[in-house]
Amino acid sequence: MTAAAAKTIRIRQTRSGIGYERTQKATLKALGLGKVGRVREVADNEQVRGMIKKIPHLVSVVDAEQG
């Protein structure tokens, strides 16, 4: 396993996707979120960072770890 593959980031859904565009709801689902308060640990890569930047009003970064 490489060092880049071991990096993870924890994200928390802070707001509901109700009332937002369909693409933003799909981004929440792709991140494995769906209910307010749910926390998900995902790989820390450019694709995930881009998804987080697309919906910063709905999610927050809890912490980023290096493994």
Task: Say if CB 25 and CB 17 are below 8 A apart.
Answer: yes
CATH of residue 45: 3.30.1390.20
Rounded CA separation 43/20 (Å): 25
Whether the predicted model's global pTM rises above the 0.85 cut: no
Cα–Cα distance measured from residue 62 to residue 64, given in angstroms and rounded to the nearest whole number: 7
Q: What residues make up the domain containing 41?
A: 3-65
Domain count, the chain: 1
Check whether 67 has a pLDDT greater than 70: no
Q: What is the pLDDT of residues 4-45, one digit of tens each?
A: 556 999 999 999 999 999 999 999 999 999 999 999 999 999
Instruction: Look up residue 18 and give its two tokens.
Output: 């109700």
